[in-house]
Amino acid sequence: MAAALDRIRVGSAPDSWGVWFPDDPVQVPWVRFLDEVAEAGYSWIELGPYGYLPTDPARLTDEVDKRGLKVSAGTIFCGLHRGPSEWDSTWEQVSRVASLTQAMGARHLVVIPSFWRDDKTAEILEPPELTGEQWAYLTKGMERLGHEVKEAYGLDIVVHPHADTHIDTEAHVERFLDSTDSDLVNLCLDTGHYAYCGGDSVKLIETYGERIGYLHLKQVDPEILADVVKNEVPFGPAVQRGVMCEPPSGVPELEPVLVAAQNLGVELFAIVEQDMYPCEPDKPLPIAVRTRKFLRSCGA
């Protein structure tokens, strides 16, 4: 048995049940997700796509309370690299998600940059590399977002490096961190996405420890990933090929990541997210049970 990782709070998310959209006929219904995530032994969840779980705070509180669950974060997507014209539409989304997140007693808002490549069609929407001006818009916009979300809702924003976005590789993540104020913006390190884009999670935690505000636990299948990279497969189809796999069969090894995170000396959420959209409805629960058991064996 591994040493107790007593600063790590483990949870899961609708993503691990194949949920990517607020409403989609192929997805597991939200009641089943809540029942099964509790059955699998998790006590923390994320909201997932806004509108998937009930958005009325009183109703959602009742639903999570009766299953012994608590909410750790909400999630938004934004394209602040496009400049000030993006602010109003971003804030409209933020205000909905952040108010529900706050009402549920959570403290974090996970911010995912917008995709440069369409998730379904593979159409290239924007160049994969930002200009200097766009980097400035992105970093200043995220700092403003961090400040205003804190002021209005008391939440900390954690920016999520993600495949097929402009914050993905080690170079891009480091540039983003070096260009932003740690009082305003920190990172949601997703171990799977970072590995997908060639990064080393343990090294990032050890180098930029004070900037790690939140974790998503995920692994990639190295063989499928090699093919995805070679053939420039977009993220959506890569997920359908099974690029995000059940721990502990992929990379990175999660125990060293958790130990590095524990060594930071702060309390951190570590939310399991295994991208499986779309998936058979009976597939997620057994995987979730095995994953929770595996994480316990790591001390989490």
Q: What is the CATH number of the domain that holds 271?
A: 3.20.20.150
Q: Are 10 and 272 in contact (CB under 8 A)?
A: yes
Residue 2 in any domain: the answer is no
Q: What is the pLDDT of residue 219?
A: 98
Q: Are 108 and 269 in contact (CB under 8 A)?
A: yes
Helix (H, G, I), strand (E, B) or coil at 172: helix
Residue 270 in any domain: the answer is yes
Q: Could you tell me the residue range of the domain that residue 197 belongs to?
A: 8-298
Residue 1 in any domain: the answer is no
Average pLDDT over residues 12-28: 97
Greater model confidence, 122 or 87: 87
Asked which of 109-123, 202-216, 217-231 is least confident by mean pLDDT, the reply is 109-123
Q: How many domains does the chain have?
A: 1
Average pLDDT taken over every residue of the chain = 97
Strands (E) in 13-155, as ranges, are 44-46, 70-78, 108-113
Q: How many CB atoms lie within 10 A of CB 256?
A: 13
Q: Is the pLDDT of residue 241 over 90?
A: yes
Residue 95 in any domain: the answer is yes
Q: How confident is the model at residue 1 (pLDDT cuts 50, 70, 90)?
A: low
Q: How confident is the model at residue 121 (pLDDT cuts 50, 70, 90)?
A: confident
User: pTM of the prediction?
Assistant: 0.97
What are the pLDDT digits (tens) for 49-79? 999 999 999 999 999 999 999 999 999 999 9
Q: Which residues contact 201 (CB under 8 A, 6 or more apart)?
A: 189, 191, 194, 195, 252, 257, 260
Q: How confident is the model at residue 171 (pLDDT cuts 50, 70, 90)?
A: very high
Residue 3 in any domain: the answer is no
Q: Is the pLDDT of residue 201 over 80?
A: yes
Q: Is the pLDDT of residue 179 over 90?
A: yes
Residue 288 in any domain: the answer is yes
Q: What is the pLDDT of residue 3?
A: 77
Q: Running DSSP on this structure, what letter comes out for residue 202?
A: H
Q: Is the pLDDT of residue 273 over 70?
A: yes
